[in-house]
Amino acid sequence: LVPGALPATYGALVETVVKSLIGTAPKPEHTAALTQFFGKKPIDPLQAKDQAVTGKFPHLVALVLDSPMFQVR
């Protein structure tokens, strides 16, 4: 779902996952809502040791798949 190098920010991670699952980029407000799940903002830097990468990534995928964005694709 995240090909290549780790995205630099939480927003970029969310956008990459959403694009992989839905095929289109999320709206900025959707990106902000999904990054808030991690307690972060879209501009916050992402590191390999962060929970978004190590433990909560499957939850991000589930949130996208359960979202209205996915249902209307």
The yes-or-no verdict on residue 73 having pLDDT over 70 is no
The pTM for the full model equals 0.90
Task: Check pLDDT > 80 for residue 72.
Answer: no
Q: Is residue 2 scored above 90 in pLDDT? A: no
pLDDT, position 24: 92
- The residues, any chain, with a CB within 8 Å of residue 27's CB and separated by 6 or more, are none
Q: What is the chain's Cα-based Rg? A: 11
Cβ atoms of 49 and 57 within 8 Å: the answer is no
Measure the CA angle with vertex 10, ends 6 and 14; round to 5°. Answer: 85
Residue with tokens 């996915």: 70
What are the tens digits of pLDDT across the range 4-52?
Answer: 899 999 999 999 999 999 999 999 999 999 999 999 999 999 999 999 9
